[in-house]
Each structure stands twice: as C-alpha cells, then as structure tokens.
Amino acid sequence: MKISREVVEYVAHLGRLELAPEEVELYTEQLDRILAYMDQLNSLDTAGIEPTTHAIPLVNVFRQDRVDYNFRAEEAVGNAPERKGSFFKVPPVIEVE
C-alpha cells in the first residue's frame, strides 16, 4: 500500500476537514489506486519524448484590440430604475453608523 490511513487523516487535518471513518477508508483506497497508476506510468520509457504542456497545439483566440462604439453616459443610464446624474443609483452596501 502506497498511502496509509494516517497520512489521509493528517492531510484531512491540515485541510481542516472532518472525515468519517468510512470516508477515510474510501479515500485511502482511492488515493492508493491513483498512486499505483502513477507508478505504472513512471515505468514507461520516455527518454525520446519531448515534454509538452498540451496534447494538441493551442492558438490564442483573442479578438483584435481596436476602438469600438462606446455608450455615452446618458445612453448607459437611460433605462436605469434610479440614477443620480449620469450614475446608477444603488442601495447602500455598507451601513454607516
């Protein structure tokens, strides 16, 4: 077994998690299976393989940065339920005593 019940309990304690005994047992089994699989992957010969960050090439999909139409202040607050000048009027969030 790669991971012990005590390690799972310790990590849960660090994360301030309260785990039931059944959960500790379940997570111990799941983490042990994950670590066993990682060992299996580590046994593969990757000497000639170049490191990658993604399996497929990615391209930025950012739009062109250009000046576009902007609302005038009057248009922006035109349908506002309440406004004060050219600003939206909203209820206070912080009560001042």
Give 5-42's CATH code, choosing from 3.90.1150.10, 1.10.20.60, 3.10.129.10, 3.30.110.30. Answer: 1.10.20.60
- What per-residue confidence (pLDDT) applies to 6? 95
Annotated domain spans of the chain: 5-42
| Exposure letters 76-96 (e unless 16+ CB within 10 A, then b) | ebeeeeebeeeeeeeeeeeee
- d(Cα 16, Cα 4) in Å, to the nearest integer? 19
Q: How confident is the model at residue 11 (pLDDT cuts 50, 70, 90)?
A: very high
**pTM score, whole prediction:** 0.50
For 17-72, the pLDDT digits (tens) are: 999 999 999 999 999 999 999 999 888 888 888 888 888 888 888 888 888 888 88
Q: How confident is the model at residue 94 (pLDDT cuts 50, 70, 90)?
A: confident
